Amino acid sequence: MSKANMYSGTDAVSKRSPIGRSEDVRSHPPKPSSSRGSQDSTSGFEPLFDSVEAARLVRIHPKTVVRMARRGQINGIRVGKLWRFRLSDLQRYVDAHSHTTDAA
């Protein structure tokens, strides 16, 4: 084989897509999953907020939210070094600590 043919760019590697997959791999549509229709992505789970998002909702500093979670004043979930908070737990805290006044 001559050097001209070897570097002409007509080998099988140059016909592949930039990500290394051949065209026939991408041409197949994904198969529908029967279990996906019966399960919602949020079924059984409530969205979790990090300390910054939770603090923004409660309108206090993020470090205060983490400190309160460590003390057990707010329910939180610790994932490694990070804290996550459920919206329902934050709402429960706000409801328990809200002061109502009767206007005369």
Looking at the domain assignment, is residue 25 inside a domain? no
In a domain, 75, yes or no: yes
Fill in the DSSP letter of residue 33: P
Domain annotation covers residue 26: no
- Span 30-56, average pLDDT: 70
Does the residue 20 lie in any domain?
A: no
Structure tokens at 58: 């409660």
How far is residue 56's CA from residue 16's CA, in Å, rounded to a whole number? 48
In a domain, 2, yes or no: no
CB atoms within 10 A of CB 74: 23
For residues 100 and 14, give the distance between their C-alpha atoms in angstroms, rounded to a whole number.
72
DSSP 8-state assignment for residue 12: G
pLDDT at position 44 is 75
Per-chain mean pLDDT for the chain: 74
Dihedral Cα 14, 19, 25, 26, nearest 10 deg: -120
Q: Domain limits at 73?
A: 48-97
- Could you tell me the pTM of the whole model? 0.54
What's the structural domain count of the chain?
Answer: 1
Give per-residue pLDDT as tens, 60-92: 999 999 999 999 999 999 999 999 999 999 999
Q: What percent of the chain has pLDDT over 70?
A: 55
